[in-house]
Amino acid sequence: MYWAPFNLIMHNMGKINKEGHLLMTTKEHSDVMHQYNYYFRHMNPNQSTPYSYQPYHFNNEYYTNTTQNGLIDQNDLYFRQHILTFVLIHGSWADPTFWNGIAGELRKMGHIVHTPQLPGHGTDKNKNVTHAMITQSVVEYITTQNLKNIILVGHSFGGSVIQKVAEQLPDRIKRLVFWNAFILKDGESMADQFPPQGQQFILGLAQQSPDHSIKLPFSYFREVFVNLADLQTAQQIYNSTTPEPSAPLTEKLDLKAFYQLTIPRSFINLLEDTAIPAGETYGWYPHMASRLGIFRFIQGHGDHMTTAKLQPRKVAHLIVNAGRD
């Protein structure tokens, strides 16, 4: 209804095919958005006045304007105004399938999405890996494919990986996005950021395993990683995890170069994420996030691994809000 004129413009331009996909170049899309903004939102995009507010796309609230044939979601149009290249780095116990729902939503918005698999994770059964090997694999992924101007997103353990990748490829990275992610100080290991009992518990599990990998017991995983899930979903997510190599969690990282970088950075916090419990001297936010200095803060409701599965669209919107210019 509110959006009808926009549809109309595009239909008249012959730019929507019968599957409802947009058929236009980035330039054309940008042009039509300017035209649309000018006429229908009473806003000249080149001036700051007159001002007209647009509550439909704000924060966590998105209006779904189903068209008669149900083919176009106008919010997707909004979120593809700037086409971004995302490289999404998964966390511990996870693999690229963690991003399936989210990557799908980002692509529907028109963005380009890469989800490399880290060594020692997913289909890679060799758990004898180091943090440097993991970093190197991401660096090679990016350079081999010659990716530039990327939004490099790290979830959980992936935060420490994008810290190290950024040191090597600062010129290819447009922005770093840490999503409930480890941000280590120079000389720290991941384990240094666990609360004391957690540290003991996790590292104790590593010692029990022949290859020093860590398989979390379901009872722990269910309470701490997927607290918002129903049991069935919790079990499905748990069954999709693989044992985590322990060496990268305990290695002290040299991060002097990282703290010299000026790449813009964002932090996404899901308010019910307890993978690292909140405390005075540990926790995602503000403890870990504050190490970023000046950063853009994006926040929503969700836990460590359920929200990615059950609300991928919501997380994708948060990632766009964190990654856009």
Cα–Cα distance measured from residue 148 to residue 151, given in angstroms and rounded to the nearest whole number = 9
Token pair for 20: 């409802």
Looking at the Cβ atoms of 10 and 288, the one nearer to its own copies is 288
Q: Which stretch binds its own copies (CB under 8 A): 1-9, 163-171, 185-193, 236-244?
A: 236-244
Angle, helices 100-108 vs 312-323, to 10°: value is: 60
Please choose, from the candidates 159, 152, 178, 160, the residue with its C-alpha nearest in 3D space to the C-alpha of residue 267: 178
299 phi/psi in degrees, rounded to 5: -145, 150
Q: Which stretch binds its own copies (CB under 8 A): 46-54, 130-138, 142-150, 160-168?
A: 46-54
Among 18, 25, 51, 196, which residue interacts with its own copies (rule: CB under 8 A)? 51
Q: If DSSP codes are grouped into helix, strand and coil, which group holds residue 54? A: coil
Among 35, 67, 81, 136, which residue interacts with its own copies (rule: CB under 8 A)? 81
Cβ neighbour number for residue 64 with a 10 Å cutoff:
9
Among 57, 107, 174, 215, which residue interacts with its own copies (rule: CB under 8 A)? 57
Cis peptide bond upstream of 195, omega within 30: no
178 close to 162: Cβ distance less than 8 angstroms: yes
Q: Does 261 bind its own copies (CB under 8 A)?
A: no
| Of residues 271-290, those binding its own copies (CB under 8 A) | 271-272, 274, 277-280, 283, 285-286, 290
Catalytic residue among 92, 137, 156, 213: 156
Distances (CA, A) of 264 to 80, 289, 322: 21, 13, 10
List interacting residues with its own copies (CB under 8 A).
37, 43, 45, 48-49, 51, 53-55, 57-60, 81-82, 101, 197, 219-220, 222-224, 227-228, 230-233, 235-236, 239-240, 264, 271-272, 274, 277-280, 283, 285-286, 290, 293-299, 301-303, 306-307, 309-313, 321, 324-325
Residues annotated as catalytic (active site), given as ranges: 156
